[in-house]
Amino acid sequence: MSPTAPSDLAMLGGAPAVPRGLPAPRWPVVTDADETAVLAVLRSGALTSVGRGDNEVARLEREWAAYCEVGHAVATSNGTTALALALAALGVGPGDEVVVPALSFVASALAPTHVGAVPVFADIDPEHYLVDPAAVRAAVTPRTAAIMPVHLHGLPADMAELAAVAGGHGLAVVEDAAQAHGARYRGAPVGGLGDLGVFSLNASKNLPTCGEGGLITTDRPELGRRALLLRQFGEDLGTDERAYVSATAGFNAKLSAVQAAFTRSQLARFEATAAGRDRAVRRFLDRLGALPGLLPPRAPAGRTHAWHLLRFRIDPAAAGLDVPAPRLRAALQRALRAEGVPVGPYQVAPLPAQPLFAAAGGWRPAFPPVPVLDPAATPVAARTIEETFVLQKAHLDPANEGLLDRYATAAEKVWEHLTVLADYAARMDYRPPWARPVGRRVRPAVEGAR
């Protein structure tokens, strides 16, 4: 790549490295096989999961259980309901606490509230952005009923350390694997490492459906039966004939046969897609890892990464710059976006700083109160949000390897002018993301709902 002048930066009026007008990356990739699978269900008339016969939902459950090397899977309407059902299957309810990471999608903290429990926030580790087992240990109280580690961005949490914490206190473990389909920890697939595992099938996820969906996995038969009972009005679905008798207060959280058929079709090529993504992402990260002061994600020994999100940390000192990391991150994010690289924040505040949990009176009276917290209560999560940006969705399709090459070239162009951007960063108006007015957005790369 030929050297460029500062004026060549797109944010200063130059031409962007990624030409405007390129087709936007699409995900999920919908093939003829996907359409055929959905059309077959529509023509069959068997559109629901009611009954325990050999329908599309039951087939998906069997196939995903086998993939996760567990005995049972229960398909649900979305990942958030799956988390709540998993907690309810364990008997978690009012008066209980559930330890969750301070950095995650809000569903991780909302799910405990949906069963009347209280989320308690534990800080994350600064290198992989996963919940810190030491912080989890410190968060345990006599009211703690469960730990909910999140395999954030597609990287498994340190399940051995977390299992030790849980075992020492008699706690259940629910894996929030919404972003980690196919990831492995010490050779074992996520979803079977705790008492229950939960996956999202939102259309943004590595294994999607056509809209929303979720899956609960477990190797404990009683928990699988309990989750199934709770999924459909508390009805016993042990026979094909539906009795319309509720044994307990259940939910209506069923997945449709159309959605199951779509996901089964995607699952048929899931391994090949994941392998292609892994090759393309590693090549991309190798190029970006050569840029001083840019720390790309990596998987520690014994873990594989699903690469759902790619989070990059900015380290000014490593680039020989004397400027605060949050300011330089903000400047680089603007420069990269101007070049056509769609980086942005993933979550603009730690979960305990969300208005629902942080503002006095923000907690609805129907639920127990939680302590009033601010970002300083979980400093690593707060610092991570200020010092990192993410790339998402564009890298999920392995066919976008050429686009990732363009993104890498754009980053190399921006890095040629780090001193110019450092001077800009020192003078720019900067406030932490959570200090901006409610409703103001910074054009983030927004994750789909669960």
Which pLDDT score is estimated for 51?
56
pLDDT of 136 > 60? The answer is yes
Q: Which amino acid is at 192?
A: G
User: Residue range 382-404: average pLDDT?
Assistant: 97
User: Residue range 106-112: average pLDDT?
Assistant: 96
Which pLDDT score is estimated for 49?
78
Enter the pTM of the model: 0.93
337 burial via Cβ count (<10 Å: 0-12, 13-18, 19+): buried
User: Residue range 152-172: average pLDDT?
Assistant: 98
pLDDT of 137 > 90? The answer is yes
Confidence class for position 367, pLDDT limits 50, 70, 90: very low
49 burial via Cβ count (<10 Å: 0-12, 13-18, 19+): buried
Confidence class for position 356, pLDDT limits 50, 70, 90: confident
pLDDT in tens, 255-289: 999 999 999 999 999 999 999 999 999 999 999 99
Which pLDDT score is estimated for 393?
95
Structure-token match 């994600």, residue found:
297
Q: How many CB atoms lie within 10 A of CB 278?
A: 16
> Minimum mean pLDDT among 54-58, 87-91, 303-307, 320-324: which range?
54-58
Which pLDDT score is estimated for 434?
77
pLDDT in tens, 227-259: 999 999 998 876 567 788 899 889 999 999 999
Contact (CB, 8 A) for 378 and 121: yes
Which pLDDT score is estimated for 307?
98
Which pLDDT score is estimated for 363?
47
Q: Which two tokens stand for residue 11?
A: 């944010």
pLDDT in tens, 314-336: 999 999 999 999 999 999 999 99
Q: How many CA atoms lie within 13 A of 272 on its CB side?
A: 6
Give 344's DSSP letter: B
Tell me the CA end-to-end span of the chain in Å, nearest whole number: 41
Q: Which two tokens stand for residue 320?
A: 């020989």
Classify 64 as helix, strand or coil: helix
**Backbone phi and psi for residue 377, each to the nearest 5 degrees, phi listed first:** -70, -25
pLDDT of 361 > 60? The answer is no
Contact (CB, 8 A) for 173 and 146: yes
Which pLDDT score is estimated for 374?
61
Bridge partners, 344 (sequence order): 390
**Backbone phi and psi for residue 77, each to the nearest 5 degrees, phi listed first:** -70, -30
> Minimum mean pLDDT among 204-213, 384-393, 421-430, 433-442: which range?
433-442
